[in-house]
């Protein structure tokens, strides 16, 4: 009848250590991590390794939930100090899920499952943090499992469709291209938003085949769109971190361009800073080769990361997309105005074209135009629409003969 807590711990990105430094270093790091865990917990607590990079800490004799919180914070703080392995300094962080008995379960299996669920919530919050189990998490986890189950075979069942959101050059009142955005309608679950299904696709590896579908569909439509209007529209397509690990990515893109007879300069691949932060050589190699093919590279969600300026110097980007979180605040928020102005000026000084995402009001259009932003995209002009709707919509912006 004691109040106890189960802490489910996962070492963040431990796989990268094994992949880059080898399993011998990985094993030594696991031993040091276990020692550090033992040093932080109390004498009456138990530390165990489930397997791989997962550990369990059993806290007994708790007088209050806050006791578990204090220990979790001590564990996170202990891991903020680098490990020294074979002359190397390695940083390793934790994601911690916490389940407390009797509130979150009365048997070992329930407590372990609920602590594991809470750990995944900590991962979703950005890692290097903890999360207490709540009943709502089970609903979220069940939803994720349903999405994963339905996603298998969704391509073959033709449940995915590519929508397109036009990008405008407001100075000349014309459409310069569009961004391809994936939509999913499933008979069992209805419409599922990209924010929900893309992380699942990334986690399962299905993002590779789904990403190939998007590229093929987008380029096929682009060919039809360009031919119909006799304009060199461009097409922006997002690439996820997992797609860069596909050894066939470059060949696939090159073959897709050849099959549709689309010039490489008409394809723009959008990459978030998260891709670059992985720091793997295969990403560097892929970006260099994509650039050599003549494909445009765009940094998406600019301003939300940590090292954007260094990446802009390091890689041959052509386009900078200002994150919608900045655009939403203008023109009323002075700080957002100043930041947007600084991003536009800095990007253009580096020879980049600037795209503002999430433009929804006339006031935003007017201000961004005054600031010299090159292209605008958002609901003010058009929400993402199916291919045929975009053809009809864009016809209104063709010059009259």
114 by DSSP, 3-state: which? helix
Q: Read off the pLDDT of residues 32-84 as tens digits, 9 standing for 90 and up.
A: 999 999 999 988 999 999 988 999 999 988 887 778 889 999 999 999 888 88
Q: Read off the pLDDT of residues 221-269 as tens digits, 9 standing for 90 and up.
A: 999 999 999 999 999 999 988 888 888 999 999 999 999 999 999 999 9
d(CA 350, CA 315): 12
Task: Look at residues 89, 83, 118, 88 and name the one whose alpha carbon lies nearest to residue 5.
Answer: 118
- Which pLDDT belongs to residue 48? 95
Check residue 42 and report its DSSP letter: -
β strands within 38-150, DSSP E: 46-51, 54-59, 83-85, 88-90, 94-101, 129-132
Is the distance from CB of 169 to CB of 374 less than 8 angstroms?
yes
β strands within 200-316, DSSP E: 234-238, 267-272, 296-302
Q: Read off the pLDDT of residues 337-383 as tens digits, 9 standing for 90 and up.
A: 998 999 999 999 999 999 999 999 999 999 999 999 999 999 999 99
Least confident of 18-32, 163-177, 345-359: 18-32
CA dist list (Å): 26 to 13, 15, 82, 188:
11, 8, 14, 43
Count other C-beta atoms under 10 Å from residue 356's C-beta: 29
CA angle 317, 237, 159 (to 5 degrees): 165
- Asked whether the predicted pLDDT for residue 401 surpasses 60, the reply is no
* Better-predicted residue by pLDDT, 375 or 281: 375
What's the farthest any 2 CA atoms get from each other in the chain? 84
d(CA 263, CA 207): 25
Beta bridge partners of 131: 97
Count other C-beta atoms under 10 Å from residue 281's C-beta: 8
Return mean pLDDT, the chain.
90
């Amino acid at each position: 009848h004691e109040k106890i807590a189960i802490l489910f711990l996962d070492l963040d990105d431990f796989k990268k250590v094994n992949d880059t430094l080898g399993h011998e270093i990985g094993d030594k790091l696991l031993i040091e991590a276990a020692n550090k865990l033992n040093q932080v917990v109390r004498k009456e607590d138990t530390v165990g390794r489930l397997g791989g990079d997962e550990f369990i800490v059993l806290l007994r004799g708790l007088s209050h939930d806050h006791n578990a919180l204090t220990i979790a914070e001590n564990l996170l703080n202990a891991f903020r100090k680098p490990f020294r392995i074979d002359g190397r300094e390695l940083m390793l962080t934790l994601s911690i899920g916490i389940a407390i008995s009797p509130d979150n379960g009365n048997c070992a299996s329930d407590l372990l499952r609920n602590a594991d669920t809470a750990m995944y919530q900590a991962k979703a919050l950005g890692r290097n943090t903890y999360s207490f189990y709540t009943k709502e998490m089970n609903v979220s986890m069940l939803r994720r499992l349903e999405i994963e189950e339905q996603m298998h075979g969704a391509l073959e069942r033709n449940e995915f469709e590519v929508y397109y959101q036009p990008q405008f050059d407001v100075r000349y009142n014309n459409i310069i291209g569009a961004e391809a955005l994936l939509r999913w309608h499933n008979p069992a679950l209805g419409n599922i938003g990209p924010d929900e299904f893309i992380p699942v696709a990334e986690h399962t590896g299905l993002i590779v085949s789904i990403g190939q579908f998007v590229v093929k569909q987008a380029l096929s439509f682009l060919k039809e769109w360009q031919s119909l209007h006799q304009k060199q529209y461009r097409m922006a397509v997002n690439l996820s971190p997992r797609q860069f690990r596909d050894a066939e990515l470059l060949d696939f893109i090159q073959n897709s361009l050849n099959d549709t007879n689309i010039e490489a300069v008409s394809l723009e691949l959008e990459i978030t800073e998260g891709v670059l932060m992985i720091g793997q050589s295969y990403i560097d190699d892929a970006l260099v080769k994509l650039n050599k093919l003549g494909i445009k590279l765009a940094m998406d969600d600019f301003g939300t990361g940590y090292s954007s300026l260094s990446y802009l110097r390091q890689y041959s980007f052509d386009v900078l997309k200002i994150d919608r979180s900045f655009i939403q605040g203008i023109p009323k928020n002075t700080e957002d105005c100043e930041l947007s102005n600084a991003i536009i000026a800095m990007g253009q000084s580096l020879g980049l074209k600037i795209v503002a995402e999430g433009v929804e009001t006339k006031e935003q259009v007017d201000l961004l135009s005054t600031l010299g932003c090159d292209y605008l995209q958002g609901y003010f002009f058009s929400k993402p629409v199916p291919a045929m709707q975009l053809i009809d919509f864009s016809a209104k912006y063709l010059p009259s003969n």
